[in-house]
Amino acid sequence: MGYYKLLMEWHLLSFLLIIVGSLLLAKGMHTVESGRLKLRWAALLVLPLALLYRYIASEEQAVVVTLRDLGLAFLLTYLWERLNKRRATFFIVNGILVMAIALGWYLLSFAYSAFNNLLGEKQREPTVSTVQYLLELGPDDSIDEVVPWLKEAGASYTKIFTTVSLQEDENLAQYFLINCPADKGEKLAKLLGADKENVDSYEPNYQRWQVPVLEAHAVSKEQEHLTNDPFVSQQWALKSIQLSFDKLRALKPIRKARIAIIDTGVDKDHEDLEESFCPSPGSFDENGHGTHCAGIAGAVANNKLGIASLNWEGKFIEIMSFPALDAKGRGSVESVASAIIEAVQAGADVISLSLGGWHPKPPKAEVDAIHFALRKGCLVVVAAGNNSEAAIEFSPANVPGVIVVTALNEKNELAPFSNTVEGIPYAVAAPGVNILSLKPGNGYVALSGTSMATPLVAGILGVFKSINPSIQQKEAYEILAASSSWEQTETNRSGKIINMDKILDFLNKNKNIN
């Protein structure tokens, strides 16, 4: 039974009870003394019973509505009594009085509610909203030298990237997060922009978010079951990239490579990740995006659980997680850059970024953090984006030096939602439609997006690093690109389509790639 129908039935029952009570009261006025008292008591008991019904039905303003109905009942009783040519002054007078009380009560409650809402809005919204900026000082400069400008604009500051020393990176070591009243932001920008001696860069702390994904249903396809993972038959992507598990397990890794998922966190207790998760800050995931990416990159293959990845029996890859996005998938340039730095300093070999936003000129803090990772020997892979536009307009896909990944469908065609990669030097294409992976709480779900294609490439790069920990970004991309099938078309839009069979042949022949 629907809620509205239920409420109307309770409402009608309550109103009928009130009318019955009113009629009993009228009858009591014309009854002999012995029966009059009983009828009056019966009438008085009906009112609280009707009110109780209203509360059970969770009706708003139950008291006001009950008083209104009582007034209506009295007026109807007055008409009934007059039709029977009996005096009914009591009912007309009290009916009008009760209706007036109900109306007054309603108006007062409405005014009180409106006042509270207005007060609540004022409490929730600060009188002056604030905005955030990223300020970079020169290597020889101090924040004290720009404090006068900050004070003049009513701004405050916090030093960020505090674990990076000037010796490691003179750019990242000099970043500050500025909180400024929104109406003073323009003034502060002019003051800092004029300070050429101390200020190297100054820009908004732009928002970042996970690359949106599309819900999908995995498509079962016939393929050889070379692993005992129960859902491997639904992983069309592994067949599409021509992954041979026989050739994969023939490789002898030097050590496990660490893939850092910079995202919403990862459910470290998921059954298909427990053996490969490396202790790291993002050990839970309220969103699910990060866990899905982690499963594609490094779910343990051939463990009789869930899905497979390139992480054969957990020998090639460890998953690390560094949260840059909140439970709703939102973050900022500062949160992403901080997570990248933390991942690098924790020993990450590969950094996987399934996030970004429209920004034709990439924010300097993001560029500095990624270049810091590349200099430290990390391989960095980034989602192209799902806007059906040019990835060169989106950051961090347009940060120089990153490997950018577009999404392919089951026909090895560029997915309609995928951004394109014209003008991006390091671009590859991987399956990104109906990709089955992990869901927090030991679940499994299929999603679509360049977010899904990116960690698949991160897993391949993890295999590279496990075979040769010293491999650098340029050579890693060249191996990916060299594997591309000759029949591929429009590679300028999609990037080179990866062929894992050719890559494994190369790796098995060149054990010490360098």
Reduced to 3 states (helix: H, G, I; strand: E, B; else coil), residue 393 is helix
The reply to whether 14 belongs to the active site is: no
Q: How far is CA 142 from the centre of its chain?
A: 37
Catalytic residue of the set 169, 263, 272, 285: 263
The reply to whether 289 belongs to the active site is: yes
Neighbours of 3 (CB within 10 A): 9
Reduced to 3 states (helix: H, G, I; strand: E, B; else coil), residue 282 is coil
Reduced to 3 states (helix: H, G, I; strand: E, B; else coil), residue 317 is strand
d(CA 417, CA 472): 31
d(CA 142, CA 176): 11
Catalytic residue of the set 14, 240, 280, 289: 289
| Strands 355-358 and 330-332, bridge-based pairing | unpaired
Catalytic residue of the set 451, 466, 483, 494: 451
The reply to whether 263 belongs to the active site is: yes
Q: DSSP class of residue 498? A: P
User: At how many degrees (to 10) do helices 89-124 and 3-29 cross?
Assistant: 150
Tokens of 493: 């839009």
Q: 37 CB contacts (<8 Å, ≥6 apart)?
A: 28
* Rg, C-alpha atoms of the chain: 34
d(CA 512, CA 236): 31
d(CA 132, CA 242): 47
Tokens of 31: 């009854």
Q: How far is CA 269 from the centre of its chain?
A: 20
**Are 429 and 400 contacting, i.e. CB atoms less than 8 angstroms apart?**
no
Q: DSSP class of residue 279? A: P
Tokens of 14: 């309550």
Q: Which residues are catalytic?
A: 263, 289, 451
